[in-house]
Structure 1
Amino acid sequence: MTNFATIATVGFVFIAMGISLWQKLNLEKDLLVATVRAAIQLTLVGYLLQFIFDADRWLYILLMITVSVLVASRNSASRGKGIPWIYLRVFVTIATVAGFTLTMMVTMNMIDPDPQTLIPISGMVVGNGMVVSSLLLNRMKEYAESMREEILVALSLGANRSQASRRMTTQAIKAGMIPMIDSTKTVGLVQLPGMMTGLIIAGTPPVEAVRYQLLIMFSFISSSALISILLGFLVYPTLFNKDHQFLGWGKRS
């Protein structure tokens, strides 16, 4: 892709801005800011990755992955305002699951342990974890409010906090996984996934690209399940005090 072609891609943004002006959506400023930020951020990341690839040192790889987890955790934690220590809970969840997933991939020779492979794949795993965590926290806050009476009744009948909140937690966990399951069901039929498309454009044989994409999709399913369950069980106890009395999160927001 030439420099001219890269610059020309901004034309797509101008089309969106033109539509915004035409329909008086007032999105021009947001589109411009998003475009400039994306260009700057991706350019800086490109140079940083080139440096890490050339250095080929584990310390830089681990630092890059850690920064990715920190940023993802901060973004997801914003969905759980009011939940005690939510940033730490999200960070531990994403870091644990991402570490487990990458370790399995390397030890079972699914991927090569080099920066060109580890960093992009870890970014996809962490990004998926961020989305799943955000969905889970949104649903848990929603269900904690809508199922409040049900939880209180269960507690009044002698249930402990785990029993009283089980349906809420289960529904939230399922909600966090459904988008991943649905996208997996239609993969290749609605659109070609991003990693597979990139590999094909780069010249990789389609069958080989499919193998890599299956690795990513299946690891996403596993990590989505692990993150939903782990984070769900880390978060629900904060609805109650040590005596199993329901407190909710509203007053802490």
Structure 2
Amino acid sequence: MNLAVNNTSLMFALILVIIAILIVHREKLGLEKDIIYSVIRAVIQLVVVGYVLKYIFRVDNVFLTIALVLIILFNASWNAKKRAGNIRNAFPISLVAILASTSVTLGTLVLTGSIKFIPSQIIPISGMIASNSMVAIGLCYRNMNTNFQNQRQQVLEKLALGADLHDASISIIRESIKTGMSPTIDSAKTVGIVSLPGMMSGLIFAGIDPVRAIKYQIMVTFMLLSATSIGSLIACYLAYKSYYNEQKQLL
């Protein structure tokens, strides 16, 4: 199946962006510059990544593959850190959480033969795992920041009654992990009924048998549930002590 996507068709597709800009302008939302900047940045990034991936796929070198995966993990951790607020050591915490979730999930898929350790499979899968872990961890950070502020009095009371830091924080930790995992769980509930996710849609669009395509999507659903749960768990348990000082007092 030959996909009819060329430079001309992409230029015509730009009409869709113009529609978004017109809506934003009409409603006076002030997002025109953000849309234009994001579109230009997305195009540049995708073009660069496309040529880089083309080279790496052709070379098929293990070290280059691992290097690109590490770059993906670094960028995901850096973006998760931006959502951390005043959490200390947010970047290393995010890096450990995303590295662990990616390693466990990716390792399981490779060891079970679900995917092969080749650039064309490892790199895209790593990107999906890291990006979903990044979003989940960002949600965890925001929820912890909000709850430690809103439930400050309850935490202080628990500490006054002799609870240690873990016991005083456990309800917030659990709620934050739940918040981080919720989007992935909700997505899994509606996949195939409300939405046809990216991998499945891409395979069908490329002419793959839909029954075969759903097998890949089921694998993706499983791996994202694993990644977001591991990433959220590790990030929350490493981050909650940042809300206390060295004297074990709530900041």
TM-score (normalizing by structure 1): 0.94
Q: Residue 236 of structure 2 corresponds to which residue in structure 1?
A: 232
Q: Residue 127 of structure 1 corresponds to which residue in structure 2?
A: 131
Q: Please give the residue correspondences for 1:4-19 in structure 2 after superposition, counting only pairs within 5 Å.
A: 4-19=8-23
Deviation at 1:49, TM superposition (A): 0.4
Match of residue 204, structure 1, among 208, 217, 223: 208
Q: Residue 222 of structure 1 corresponds to which residue in structure 2?
A: 226
Q: Residue 158 of structure 2 corresponds to which residue in structure 1?
A: 154
Counterpart of 1:17 in structure 2: which amino acid? I
Q: Residue 30 of structure 1 corresponds to which residue in structure 2?
A: 34
Which string of whole-angstrom CA distances, capped at 9 and with x for unpartnered residues, describes residues 73-99 of structure 1?
Answer: 111111112111111110111011101
Counterpart of 1:230 in structure 2: which amino acid? I
Assess if the C-alpha contact under 8 Å between 2:102 and 2:126 holds in 1: yes
Counterparts of 2:31 and 2:153, CA distance in 1: 41
Q: Residue 24 of structure 2 corresponds to which residue in structure 1?
A: 20
Q: Compared with structure 1, are the counterparts of its residues 244 and 28 closer, same or farther at alpha carbon in structure 2 (3 Å cutoff)?
A: closer
Deviation at 1:243, TM superposition (A): 4.1
Counterparts of 2:25 and 2:171, CA distance in 1: 47
SS where residue 83 of structure 1 aligns?
coil
Q: Please give the residue correspondences for 1:103-182 in structure 2 after superposition, counting only pairs within 5 Å.
A: 103-182=107-186
Assess if the C-alpha contact under 8 Å between 2:80 and 2:94 holds in 1: yes
Counterpart of 1:45 in structure 2: which amino acid? V
Match of residue 76, structure 2, among 72, 76, 91: 72
Counterparts of 2:130 and 2:156, CA distance in 1: 36
Counterparts of 1:8 and 1:120, CA distance in 2: 28
Q: Residue 86 of structure 1 corresponds to which residue in structure 2?
A: 90
Q: Alignment length, in residue pairs?
A: 247
Counterparts of 1:205 and 1:123, CA distance in 2: 24
Deviation at 1:178, TM superposition (A): 1.1
Which string of whole-angstrom CA distances, capped at 9 and with x for unpartnered residues, describes residues 159-213 of structure 1?
Answer: 1111111111111111111111111111111110111000111111111110110
SS where residue 79 of structure 1 aligns?
coil
Counterparts of 2:90 and 2:148, CA distance in 1: 16
Structure 1 range deviating more: 236-245 or 128-137: 236-245
Counterparts of 1:18 and 1:239, CA distance in 2: 44
Deviation at 1:242, TM superposition (A): 4.3
Provide structure 2 residue ranges, at least 5 long, that are not aligned to the other structure.
Answer: none
Counterparts of 2:169 and 2:134, CA distance in 1: 24
Assess if the C-alpha contact under 8 Å between 2:101 and 2:226 holds in 1: no
Deviation at 1:24, TM superposition (A): 3.1
Counterpart of 2:21 in structure 1: which amino acid? M
Structure 1 range deviating more: 230-239 or 22-31: 22-31
Provide structure 1 residue ranges, at least 5 long, that are not aligned to the other structure.
Answer: 248-253
Counterparts of 2:148 and 2:161, CA distance in 1: 18
Which string of whole-angstrom CA distances, capped at 9 and with x for unpartnered residues, describes residues 44-84 of structure 1?
Answer: 10000001001100111111111111111111111112111
SS where residue 82 of structure 2 aligns?
helix
Deviation at 1:144, TM superposition (A): 0.6
SS where residue 117 of structure 2 aligns?
coil
Q: Residue 250 of structure 2 corresponds to which residue in structure 1?
A: 246
Deviation at 1:16, TM superposition (A): 1.4
Q: Percent identity?
A: 36
Counterparts of 2:180 and 2:237, CA distance in 1: 13
Aligned pair 1:99/2:103, yes or no?
A: yes
TM-score (normalizing by structure 2): 0.95
SS where residue 83 of structure 2 aligns?
helix
